[in-house]
Structures are given as C-alpha cells and as structure tokens.
Structure 1
Amino acid sequence: LLYTFTKRHAARYDAAEGCSYGRCLKFILFMALFEGILAGAYQIVAVNWLFEARYEEIMAQTLAAVEATGIYARDQMQLVGEMATRMTHSPIWLIASGIFGSLIKGLFFGLFVSAFASRKPEVFSRNNE
C-alpha cells in the first residue's frame, strides 16, 4: 500500500517536473506522522478504557520481573512502578511514542519505497520547450 500510494502521489506531478526521491520520502513521512497520531489515539483509548485490566496485568508482570533481578531496592522499585504507571496512562507519552515509532518505521520503509516510486523529469516533454 505504501508503494501504491506513493506512486499515485508521484503521478500527480507534471512530466516535466517529475517527483524526486526527497519529495516521495517527505510524502511517506507525512503519512507515517498521521498514522502515528492515529496509533497513539488508539493506544490512549485501549490503555485507559478498553483493555485497562490487561495493561495493568502486563505492567505488574513486568515490574515483578524487574524486581526479581535485584537491580533496584524496594523503595526504588516502588518509585519505578509509579512512574511507569503514570507514563503508561499519560496521553502525551502515548501520542509521542506512537508518532516516534511510526516515523522510524516510515523512514526505514520510505528509504526503499521512495527509490522505486520517484519519477525523474522527462527531458522531451511538451512543457520543456
């Protein structure tokens, strides 16, 4: 889908102008940004309302595993648990992590997709007279 939408975007530009690699990559990154906002919004709803008990269970298991390693003292572990719970339920952190993750994925896949979807300007097009 990423290739199809990027190729369709590149086809919108005039033959004399073409659609460069950078323009295609920018389009992919904007799509990834939008996808990150949507993913973060879903994560907010899922963590706080839809699957709240499941996320709490996962958090408890994770904190128990960290506590079993003995890296943190008991009072430090309580602070770590409180901070992790606040970050897991914070809308700002969820949106930011969704955007960051989507931009990283978009950049990685965009490097390859842009190479195949870009169009070089046509030298003998009618607009280049």
Structure 2
Amino acid sequence: MIGKTFWQDASIGGAVLGLVNLAEVALSVVLPSNAGIISIASLVATIYLIIYFTRKRVPLYGHYGFSYGQCMDFIVVMGLFAGVMQGAGQVIMANFFFTDYYNGLLVEAQQQMRELYSGMMKPEQMTQMAEWSRKAMFSPAVVLVSNIYSNVIGKAFLGLFASLAIKRDPDIFYNNGQ
C-alpha cells in the first residue's frame, strides 16, 4: 500500500508545487512591479505545500515512524514532478504566450554578454553564442531538464529543514502485535 501510493502522492504534490511555481512566473511577467511580493508568496506557499503533502504520508507508516530520509526522499521526488510540470509550462509560456517577454530577456542577456566579453571574443564567436543561447532558451528539452534540475535542488534544500519538523520516530513500545 505504502509503495503504491508513494509515486501517486509525490506526483500529485509535485503537480501542485509545479503549478504554484508556474503561477509565480506568469504573475511576475504580467505584474513585474509586484514580482518581489509574488516571489515571497510563492516561497511561503511552496514551504506550506511541501509540509502539507509530506505530513499526509506520515500516518501511512504508523508505529514504524517516518524517518528524515523518507521525508527527504518524498520531497525530492515531489521536486522531480514539480520540475516536469514547471518545465512543460515554461516551454508553453516561452514559445506561445510570453514570447516577447522571453525575447526581451534574451536580448538583454546578449547585450550584457557583449559588454562583458567585448575584448575577449571575436564577433563571430559572439554571434554563435547568441544563436546557441536563443536555441537553448526556446528548446523544450533544455528548459525541461533545467527546470527539473532546479526544482529537485530547490525542493531538496527546503526539504532539509521541513524534514526536521515532519519526521517521526518509531514507536519504541510497539511489540509487533504481541
């Protein structure tokens, strides 16, 4: 029972976390003046949801307890699913909904690279670097993998602290039903 629901619970929790992260990105694009407040609200919601979904797992383990490692395992897998959800959403946003915004970010980043590397790189190298960055920014595979990576690392970092509050030691007085 526990093993069967692990992936289902992690995928549901990860999907919700991914949607919260996607909402943060979309709202920050639409309301750039409120991006700081949106980011803080998203962080608070993410921490709450990590604790909420992980605590839902604790009763399934009963008297055996729910260790720090089990908490971290579940949170990291939720981060994996959140990364898939957020990556897929960002591919859609970058290629269909907020294309002008992402193009603006790309132009700004390329301008900064030109200023930074002006004496170190040849113009054709700069052009090639600009082409590669454009391909990477709008490539579904690159966006998906980078979102999965960043979500796993980010959720694992938050999980380091959340797991301290969630873990439950086994019942030392349980005698295997005897």
Normalising by structure 1, what TM-score? 0.92
Q: Percent identity?
A: 30
CA RMSD of aligned residues (A): 1.3
**1:47 and 2:94 matched:** yes
In structure 2, the partner of 1:66 is 113
Structure richer in helix, relative to its length: 2
Give unpaired runs (5+ residues) of structure 1.
none
Deviation readout 1:103-122 (Å, 9 max, x if unpaired): 11111111111121111110
State the distance in 1 between where 2:145 and 2:152 align.
Answer: 10
Out of 163, 169, 176, the position equivalent to 1:114 is 163
In structure 2, the partner of 1:31 is 78
In structure 1, the partner of 2:51 is 3
State the distance in 2 between where 1:49 and 1:115 align.
Answer: 41
1:81-100 alignment runs, 5 A limit? 81-100=130-149
SS in 2 for 1:14: helix
Q: Structure 1 counterpart of 2:106, which letter?
A: M
Length, aligned pairs only: 128
Q: Structure 2 counterpart of 1:55, which letter?
A: Y
Residue 4 of structure 1: CA displacement? 2.0
Deviation readout 1:48-103 (Å, 9 max, x if unpaired): 11111111121112111211231422111100000000011111111101100001
Q: Structure 1 counterpart of 2:56, which letter?
A: R
Deviation readout 1:1-22 (Å, 9 max, x if unpaired): 211221221122121x111111
Residue 127 of structure 1: CA displacement? 3.0
Q: Structure 2 counterpart of 1:6, which letter?
A: T
Normalising by structure 2, what TM-score? 0.68
Residue 123 of structure 1: CA displacement? 1.5
Q: Mean Cα displacement is larger for which, 64-73 or 101-110?
A: 64-73
Give unpaired runs (5+ residues) of structure 2.
1-48
